[in-house]
Structure 1
Amino acid sequence: MLGSVDVILPCLDEREVLAWVTGRLPTWAHPIVVDNGSTDGSALLARELGATVVSEPRRGYGSACHAGLEAATAPFVAVMDCDGSLDPRDLERLVACLGDADADAGADNRPHLVVGRRVPTTRAAWPWHLRVANRVVARRVNRRTGLSLLDVGPMRLAPRESLLALHLSDRRSGYPVETVVSAAEAGWRVSQVDVPYAPRTGRSKVTGTPMGVLRTVRDMSAVLGR
């Protein structure tokens, strides 16, 4: 076990599912809810539920993730969506993968990033056009880095100080891609483990509309084009 892990939860109007998400976190995980402009009382409820709440007024997935990273204090941090699509209990899978891989690596002290590969539990969990777009992005990431990822997913685990040292700059939807690419190019070990992916609660603020999908693809492409 890694000891305590801070879990960054980017949040924009997720009051409906916050109790479920925070209530299913493992005992070793502490939630950092990053309020990215909620108007439904998400921040107040998160505090009542015992989470650390960080306010990030600059809209954007990357803005929320990075604000949480800067606020974290645990040696390791995880990131996951706060919409009910991912089960916080599955963070155990990432921790186990990290431990097993580090044991196999022996004296290899390189930082290690573990990415959850989304496995949809129903067709509704991950519409075909989003799966196709993700497959294209993953293929481009693999060509750039030499990795063999099947998904650049929203559940990740890594050492906090090492993440900060990457100096990630994207503040929009390209943040996960930048995390993986920067880690790989810095010589990190990168692993992937399957995690179930269920239908989210409410409509996605990122890919819930055609325009949202286009913005996401554009943001990720911009990172890969640097």
Structure 2
Amino acid sequence: MNVELSVVMPCLNEAETLAICIKKAQGFFERKNIVGEVIIADNGSTDGSQQIAKDLNATVINVPQKGYGSALRGGIEAANGKYIIMGDADDSYDFENLMPYIMKLREGYDLVMGNRFKGGIKKGAMPFLHKYLGNPVLSFIGRLFFKSKIGDFHCGLRGFSKEAFYKMELKTTGMEFASEMIVKASLKNLKIAEVPTILSPDGRSRPPHLNTWRDGWRHLRFLVLYSPNWLFMVPGLLLMLFGLITSAFLIMGPVSVGNVNFDVHTLLFTSGFILIGFQFILFYGLTKVFTVENELLPKSKKYDRLFKFINLEKGLITGFVLVIVGIVLSFLAYSDWQATGYGNIESTAILRRVIPAITLMLLGVQIILFSLFFSILGLKK
């Protein structure tokens, strides 16, 4: 008979709790008349976990590449089921109560996430920092960056179809594999559902593999790097907008706020904001091209329009125009300095030409270099 459900458990020295997890999953198959299999994705156990799994007729897949994500990917790829449910082998998740996941998958959902905050977190099941800081903050960032409605980004018990797994094209090898799955599913517009899940205390006597700060940072880093809009575009636009507005006022003359007088010295800083903001925006463009061309992010209609709007020729023309304007302003400033007999520049009017001139020339050179590199990255286009 065709296997409908594969329960995949990553394993690294889980001898204390592995047997009970396998038995719970197999018991679920029997009670609900589901044709299923248990896949143990072993990541190099040395405590006899492999033999325990074999004695219980579970399929053991040896995954040599270290990491939570590597182990799961190896087990999922070897699974025969139409649907996959992955969960930790530490007895913190109830493999006897998987029917809510199956029902959603049968309804046509591509990814079904557990939500421990809705289902219930038993006393001692989740560390204080994870419960009140790590999970809520990272889940909020994920919802904000990727317009996802998932309330618990890091629930380890989740189900998906084998077809959806290949659509997601997951790449990461560590704990951030959990975040990547939701991010890729959201970016590829897969159907996602959420079901309440109860989290119980870890059944092992040893400390968990999870490292609070290291793995939390890896999740955060992944979310940020996969959202170039928030990492580069948004702060870049804000800096440039602030720099342009304040520079425009300061070029016309000094600005006083109460007893504080802002003049050309402040203009230097506001011009710097323009350049820094523009650098952020350039990095957004380069990151976008790199991630799409290397299949790290899906290609969108906006991406194709990006190449129609930005190309080498337009970039070179714009860059050279800005450089020429900067040079013209520099000559005007030079003429003013010449009129003073090349003495000390006491008039701020000259600096009001010099600073914009340098800023424009730097922007022009940046645009020229960006256009060249942008075209190289997108050479396939």
TM-score range, shorter chain: 0.7 to 0.9
2:82 corresponds to = 75
Deviation at 1:58, TM superposition (A): 1.9
Going from structure 1 to structure 2, the CA distance change for 1:70 and 1:85 (only over 3 Å counts) comes to same
SS in 1 for 2:170: coil
Matches within 5 A, 1:1-226: 4-25=4-25, 26-27=28-29, 28=34, 29-100=36-107, 102=108, 112-118=110-116, 119-131=119-131, 132-152=133-153, 153-202=155-204, 203-207=206-210, 212-226=211-225
User: How far, CA to CA, are the matches of 1:50 and 1:175 in structure 2?
Assistant: 28
The residue identity in structure 2 corresponding to 1:127 is P
Choose between structure 1 and 2 for higher RCO, CA contacts under 8 A separated by at least 6 residues: 1
C-alpha distance in 2, partners of 1:12/1:20?
15
Shift of 1:99: 3.7
Q: How many residues align?
A: 212
Partner of 1:105: none
The offset of 1:150, in angstroms, is 1.6
Decide which structure has the larger Cα Rg and report it.
2
- Post-superposition shift, 1:165? 2.6
- Measured after TM superposition, the shift of residue 120 of structure 1 is 4.1
Q: Deviations along 1:147-192, whole A, 9 cap, x unmatched?
A: 2222121111111122123211110010010000000100111111
CA distance in structure 1 between the aligned counterparts of 2:122 and 2:75, rounded to whole angstroms: 30
Structure 2 Cα separation of the partners of residues 90 and 64 of structure 1:
24
Q: Which amino acid aligns with 1:224?
A: L
SS of the aligned residue for 2:186 comes to helix
Provide the rounded CA distance (Å) in 1 between the counterparts of 2:106 and 2:64.
36
Aligned 8 A contact 2:180 2:222 in 1: yes
8 Å contact kept, 2:121–2:198: yes
CA contact (8 A) 1:206 1:213 kept: no
Q: Can you list the C-alpha shifts for 1:133-154, whole angstroms capped at 9, x where unaligned?
A: 0111111111122122221211
Q: Distance in 1 between matches of 2:135 and 2:65?
A: 25
Looking at structure 2, the residues matched to 86 and 204 of structure 1 have their Cα atoms a distance apart, in angstroms, of 17
Q: Do the aligned partners of 1:115 and 1:193 also contact (CA within 8 Å) in 2?
A: yes
The answer to whether the Cα contact below 8 Å between 1:60 and 1:171 also exists between their aligned partners in 2 is yes
Q: Which runs of 5+ in 2 are unaligned?
A: 226-381
Deviations 1:4-33 (A, max 9, x none): 211110011111112211111121231100
Moved more, 27-36 or 174-183: 27-36
Tell me which amino acid in the other structure corresponds to 2:84.
V
Contact 2:3/2:37 (8 A) holds in 1: no
Higher helix share: 2
Partner of 2:284: none
Cα RMSD (Å): 1.7
Q: Where does residue 324 of structure 2 map in the other structure?
A: none
What is the TM-score of this pair, normalised by structure 1? 0.88
Structure 1 Cα separation of the partners of residues 126 and 208 of structure 2: 15
> Which SS does the other structure have where 2:198 is aligned?
strand
Measured after TM superposition, the shift of residue 3 of structure 1 is 6.0
| 1:6 partner letter | S
Shift of 1:73: 1.7
Residues 84-133 of structure 1, C-alpha deviations (whole Å, 9 max, x = no match) = 00010122121123345x4xxxxxxxx62000112444220112111120
Superposed CA deviations along residues 53-100 of structure 1, whole A, max 9, x for unmatched, are 011122211011101111112111111111000010122121123345
Residues 9, 89 of structure 2: 8 Å contact kept: yes
Gaps of 5+ in 1: 103-110
